[in-house]
Every structure is written in C-alpha cells, then in structure tokens.
Amino acid sequence: MNRLTLLSLGALLVLAAVVNAVGNDFESDCRYPQSDCRNVVSLYAEADYAVITGTQAELRVWAINNADETRFVSFSAYVGELTAFIDEPFAALQPNAAKATFMRFNAPDCFRGVEDVYLKARSCNADGTSCAERTKTIHVFVTPTEECSYHINGSLGVEAYVAPLVRGRPSSTLTYVKYFDPTEYDVRVSGAEKCIDFYAGDWKRVPLTLLNRGAAGTFDLRLLGDTDKINAMLGSEYVSLTRNDASDVFIDVQPGRDAGRYWVTLQVLNGVSVITEKDVCINVQDKYEASLLMPKYVRVSDCQGAAIKALAENLGTAGDEYAIMSDPFATPSQETITVQAGERGTFDVIIDASSLKQGTTTLHVGIASIETEKMVAEATTEIEVVSCSAASKVEATQTQEAESVRVTVTVVNDLNTSLDNVSASVAGIPSAWKVQAESGVSVAPQSSRNLTVVITPTTSEEAVAPRLIVKAGDRVVGEQALPAISPKPAGLTGFVVTALSQNMLLIAVLVAVALLVIVLTGRRKTEEEEYREKLQTIKKSIIE
C-alpha cells in the first residue's frame, strides 16, 4: 500500500497576497451630511499586485481624510484562518492629511490555500455622529515551504517554495508591480493536499480553490481519472475569474463498495489549452457496520429454558465476523457468526430461567466486529419470568366407553417460547389398570394442543379420586382432579375372572369339582343306557 508521508508539520511559510488596490471598494454606515461618503475617506494599498514570501508577510496601507474637519480614523481587518495585526490602528487626521501603517500576516504551520482578508478604514467626527467606512478585499495565497511538502507514491505531491536565506535563516521579501495588468493566464489550484479518506458508499464533497494570478478569463473545468469507479462529479463545468480573483469549486464523490486508492485529475482549460491541473487522491476504506434485531418482549417459564432468536445484518461493505456477547444468565448458541456484506445471519440466545427470579429482566446482547475490535450493534429484550402453572393451562374432559375411560387433555401455552417434552399421566388409580398416554409432545408458543389418555380398569377396585398430571420435562405444568372411575363390570365371567385373580387355590378346587361333575355325569349316563338295553332284552325274550 502506498503511504502518504508528511515531511514536516512545523515549517516556514510562504505567503502570496494578491491585493486589489483599485476595485472592491464600498462604503457603509455613512452619516456625513454635507458630502459623498467616497469623498470623506480614501483607503489605499502600496501595490496593485503583490507577492509576499517568508515567515511574516507585511503590506503597507494608508488612509486619507478628504473631509474639511478633523477625523478620527481606525483600521481593522477580518483575516479568516490567518492571523494579522496592524502596527498603528488609530490616528487623528487633519483635513487632507494621510496616515500610513503596516498590516502583517501570519499563517498556521504548513497552511496551504487562499484566504480573503477584508481591510476596513472607519472615519468619524469628534462626537461620533458622522462616520464613513471604506473596505478593501485582499486575496492571500499561502504556499508552505519545502519542509511542509509531502510525497504520494514516491513523488512530490505539490510545488513548494524555498525561501532565500540570510545568515542561515529564511528571509522575508516583498515583490510587487504597482500597475500590473497581466496578459498571460496563471491559475493555481489549492486544496486536497493529501489522500482523502472515504468510506465505501458514503457521499462526500472535496473543496478546491482556484486563484487567478494572471489575466482575467473564463476557464473550463474537466475531471479525468477514476471518475466512474468512485462516482466523481464536478459541481460546475466552468468558472470566470477576474485578475487577482479566487473561486471555490467542488468535486462530489460517492464511492461504491470496492475499497482501494483512486485518483482523479482536475484540469483548468482556456479553449483547448490546459492552464493547470490538480491531482486528487481518494482513499476508499471498507465500512464495518451492522444491526442486531431481537424480540422486544418474551415471556418464559421458570420450569424450562428458552431460546430467543437474534438476527445480525451486515450493513457494511465487506464480510465480517462478529463476536457475540450477552448477560451471564444467557448463553449464545455460538461464540461468533460470520456474515457477508448485505446479508443476514441468525443465532439463538439460550435463557436459563431457573437462575432468574419471577418478574421482568432486561437481556442485553451485542455483537463486536473482530476486524475493527469495536462493538457494532446492540439489542435488548424484556424477559418476563413466570411460574409454570401461570404460564400454561390444563383442561380435561372424561368420556366413558365400553371397557375404558378416555380423558382428552387440552394444554394451553401462553408463553412466547414452546413447551417441550410435554406428557400426561393419571395418579390415584390401581397400579394394575392399563393406561395409554401421549408423551414427548411440543406445544408451540401462544397455542394449544390436545393429548389423549385411555384408562382401562382390569380389577374390581374403584378409582375414587383420580388426578390428571401434565408435565413439561421434569416440571409439573398443570394438574386437574378427575371424576371417580368404576371397576370392570362383573357377571359370571366376571365372577370367574375375579375369583381367579383373588385365590389360586380356590381356582384349583373349582376346576376339580367341575371335572368330577363331568366324569360322574358321563358315568351315570352309561349305566342308564346299559339298564335300558338289558330291559329291552328281557322284554324281547318274553314276547318270543
């Protein structure tokens, strides 16, 4: 990467002041009753065009009292970013008398550019009831010395003035032509002395100043270089400058998403001739910004944890990896998340509700850019912790069927998170009875779901006070008392089944008795048949 190097911050200054001693005069606050303001006081400078160089620049100015009475004259000046002082700012002038003094300029270290200095002479009578003012505009062109120059890509960025030395120290010189009217064009451009940093996608305006040190004219402006890559556009296509005039122009820049160093060149033309040009360096940097979205409010129960969804959106111009941070009672599902520019990524924040008291708590979550090591987005969620019984409702209806009882259970979840691993069971019934119930069911947030429990009595015992119990995991979320459940209906078959279930010895006796009856019944039938056959034989023999 090319590096912009500033060779020196504190150095001697070169001041170039362009003084218009003929134009730019005007009057204000004139209350002299007998004559025109222009005839009351006159303000002059020693040069029509002056170039001042050195650590301190000075210019001699004077005022003339044109009135027919004694006038009190004061000098003042507005100098912008420069500093200036006037040697003798006050004078009492007799009619037609003049007062001359020096105005001295100074500029900040390594200052470069153009400043408009407004010099004012104010003339008043003795009691201050009549005053007149004359003002002149002075363009001060400042060029720092070679020690304040800089290099871009190994080349000197701008011109620099090397002041003459007297006894080893820079000297101050004054050069001027009293009636100078140049015929050649000489335009200088100041501003953008080093690479200007931009964030990709941002809009910014680059100001430049054009100073005409030559003949008056209208100059066309043209922008060359990487204009399309950084969407650079001139604020104006031409500028008209009189002699010793200055004007500001702007380059509007809005780079795309591609970071890097770009160059544009401002050319000042008169016709087809290039009078001067200025290179402007634009350093486009990646922007690292993001947003974090989370629910504003979540209601969780103290019987289980809750997972809150968070969405991180990369609003920057480059992909970034974010470190996820949260309060101690919350745990992110992952330590970091990587999101490309313009895209979104999601992660969960697991809430340990058992460590929180019932009530409202604020959850703080933030993401920090690993590239910049700065927090780029934060979000909060209000968490209401409630008990399991308050967070859910259980309603049951009981239906008698032929040989069983069906219980339909409705579980209502009022939480913003799901109830997981929900199961139903019935207590207070004989352990030998058969029970079929659903388990491992999830109930979505703000919804309800039905579970079915089928109870089949298998004994003659009655369930006097059965009770329905609904759990989410290991925690009870609801209970409800059920009506009494009758035992299995009894008949002959029921009697036998009951006897079998109560006394195995009695069962064996009953079986033996039954077999004996069968045997005796079969034997009795056989003897009667033999007797009848014998009787039939006797009857037959008698007849014969």
pTM above 0.75, yes or no: no
187-285 in CATH: which number?
2.60.40.10
pLDDT for position 8: 32
Question: What is the arithmetic mean of pLDDT over 61-72?
Answer: 90
Above 80 in pLDDT, residue 203? Answer: yes
Cα–Cα distance, 90 to 51 (Å, whole number) = 27
On whether the CB atoms of residues 100 and 89 are closer than 8 A, the answer is no
pLDDT for position 59: 81
Question: What is the arithmetic mean of pLDDT over 80-109?
Answer: 84
- pLDDT class for 61, splitting at 50, 70, 90? confident
Question: What is the arithmetic mean of pLDDT over 435-442?
Answer: 85
- Average model confidence (pLDDT) across the chain: 76
Least confident of 274-278, 362-366, 498-502: 498-502
Q: Which of 139-143, 156-160, 173-177 has the highest mean pLDDT?
A: 139-143
Question: What is the arithmetic mean of pLDDT over 270-292?
Answer: 89
| Number of C-beta neighbours around residue 524 at 10 A | 10
Least confident of 79-93, 149-163, 182-196, 358-372: 149-163
- pLDDT class for 404, splitting at 50, 70, 90? confident
Q: Return the ∠ at Cα 106 (arms to 104 and 110), rounded to 5°.
A: 155
Give the tokens for residue 469: 């119990």
Tell me: the pLDDT tens digits for 498-544?
A: 444 445 556 666 767 667 766 565 555 556 666 566 656 655 554 55
Cα–Cα distance, 243 to 137 (Å, whole number) = 13
pLDDT for position 489: 63
pLDDT for position 221: 94
Tell me the CA distances in angstroms from 198 to 3, 242, 255, 283, one per residue in order: 16, 34, 8, 6
Above 50 in pLDDT, residue 168? Answer: yes
Question: What is the arithmetic mean of pLDDT over 145-174?
Answer: 50
Give the tokens for residue 280: 């402007």
User: Which amino acid belongs to residue 23?
Assistant: G
Which of 163 and 92 is assigned the larger pLDDT?
92
Residues contacting 228, CB < 8 A, separation 6+? none
pLDDT for position 534: 60
Question: What is the arithmetic mean of pLDDT over 211-235?
Answer: 89
pLDDT for position 535: 56
Question: What is the arithmetic mean of pLDDT over 9-26?
Answer: 38
Above 70 in pLDDT, residue 356? Answer: yes
Torsion, Cα 269 271 273 276, to 10 degrees, reads -10
DSSP string computed for 232-255: -EES-SEEEE-TT-EEEEEEEE--
389-481 in CATH: which number?
2.60.40.1230
Q: Smallest Cα–Cα separation from 39: which of 14, 62, 65?
A: 65
* DSSP-assigned letter for residue 485: B
pLDDT for position 346: 93
Q: Which of 263-272, 350-359, 420-429 has the highest mean pLDDT?
A: 263-272
pLDDT for position 128: 84
Cα–Cα distance, 347 to 328 (Å, whole number) = 17
On whether the CB atoms of residues 71 and 43 are closer than 8 A, the answer is no
pLDDT for position 72: 92
Cα–Cα distance, 476 to 353 (Å, whole number) = 15
Question: What is the arithmetic mean of pLDDT over 55-64?
Answer: 78
* DSSP-assigned letter for residue 130: S
pLDDT for position 12: 36
| Number of C-beta neighbours around residue 152 at 10 A | 19
- As to burial, measured by CB atoms within 10 angstroms (0-12 exposed, 13-18 middle, 19+ buried), residue 334 is exposed
pLDDT for position 303: 67
% of the chain with per-residue pLDDT over 90 = 18
Give the tokens for residue 244: 């010793």
Above 60 in pLDDT, residue 172? Answer: no
pLDDT for position 517: 63
CATH architecture of the domain 290-386 equals: Sandwich (2.60)
**Phi then psi dihedrals of residue 502, to 5 deg:** -100, -35
What are the sequence ranges of the domains in the chain? 5-177, 187-285, 290-386, 389-481, 503-544
Q: Which CATH superfamily is domain 5-177 in?
A: Immunoglobulins (2.60.40.10)
Cα–Cα distance, 527 to 345 (Å, whole number) = 99
pLDDT for position 505: 57
Residues contacting 371, CB < 8 A, separation 6+? 288, 318, 320, 321
Residue 245, SS3? coil
Same fold for the pair 5-177 and 290-386: yes
Q: Return the ∠ at Cα 348 (arms to 344 and 349), rounded to 5°.
A: 130
Least confident of 54-63, 152-161, 275-284, 482-491: 152-161
